[in-house]
Each structure stands twice: as C-alpha cells, then as structure tokens.
Amino acid sequence: MPKHIVIPDEREAQLRKIMKDHNLPSVADAVALLIGWAVEGGHVAPGVPGIEVSRKANLVTVDFGDFQRVMSVELAQAYAICLRWFASPKGENIGLAARHVSEMFSGAHVVGLSRRGPSVKVKGENGVERTLAFSVARDLAELIQKAAA
C-alpha cells in the first residue's frame, strides 16, 4: 500500500503546513485534500485507481481487481456508510467501547471490512484482501454511495 515519494524540502514544508492548518492527521491526508480539491475543480477525474465502481439495474459492483463485491443498492449504501465509519480516526464520533459494540452489530465482518491501524482492510469472498488508507476508503465510500443513489 505505501509508496515513498521524494519531494523537495520546500514542498514537504508546504504539505506539513496544509496538514497543520486543516488539522489533518498525516501528510497523506494533506495530499488527499489537494486531490479532492483537484477533483472538485474538474482538473482530475473522480475515482480510485485500480478500483472500479459500477451499477447495473439494482446491483452495484465494486471491482478491486483480484476480487469483486456485488451488492444490492440497499446493501451498497450500508457498505459505503460502514466503509466511511471504519475510515474515521479513532475516537471520532463515538468512544472506543461503543465502537467495539457497534462493530459487532454492524455486519462489517459479513461484508469483509475491518480496521487495521491507519487503514481499512477490505476482504473478498475469495479471501484476498486489499488495504486502503483512510482517505482512499472515504473516496471509495463516496463513489459507492453515488452509484447506489
């Protein structure tokens, strides 16, 4: 999942300032913010490279390359909400104990979602897993939500 990109010190300083000014937890989130602005401005097409989201009739397909998740529109909406919830920083929205109880009843284990540190694991029915950074998981949730609308 992670890649190391070499940038000039001045650009790193700018990214860290964006991170601080927007109260972001990481430089990766600052980059995601910039990409989001580029998408909103129409300079970059929305999407998550390597993952295709489509809808045919009442089914939404999320193709991760090595596996697919095919869901009804209703389940896709719930999946997007759960994905977004798993991609929220710890302690955001609810306390840790409530989070664990909610995870038990969310059905996330049924659709192959779990939280692993600063990322979300998506598991296919074939057992293959894909790790997504929080910002990528949130972008994917938005694409799924739009497809299911």
14-25, pLDDT tens digit by residue?
Answer: 999 999 999 998
What pTM was estimated for this model as a whole?
0.81
| Least confident segment among 1-15, 62-76, 131-145 | 1-15
Give me the residues paired with residue 48 across strands. Answer: 51
Judge whether 111 and 69 are in contact, CB under 8 Å.
Answer: yes
| Alpha-carbon span 144 to 138, nearest angstrom | 10
Going by pLDDT thresholds of 50, 70 and 90, the confidence category of residue 107 is low
Tell me the mean pLDDT in the region 53-73: 95
- Domain coordinates in residue numbering, the chain: 9-40, 64-148
Q: What are the backbone angles phi and psi of residue 75, rounded to the nearest 5°?
A: -65, -35
Q: Which residue has the tokens 């990214």?
A: 15
pLDDT at residue 105 is higher than 80? no
| Amino acid residing at 101 | V
> 53 is written with which tokens?
């989201």
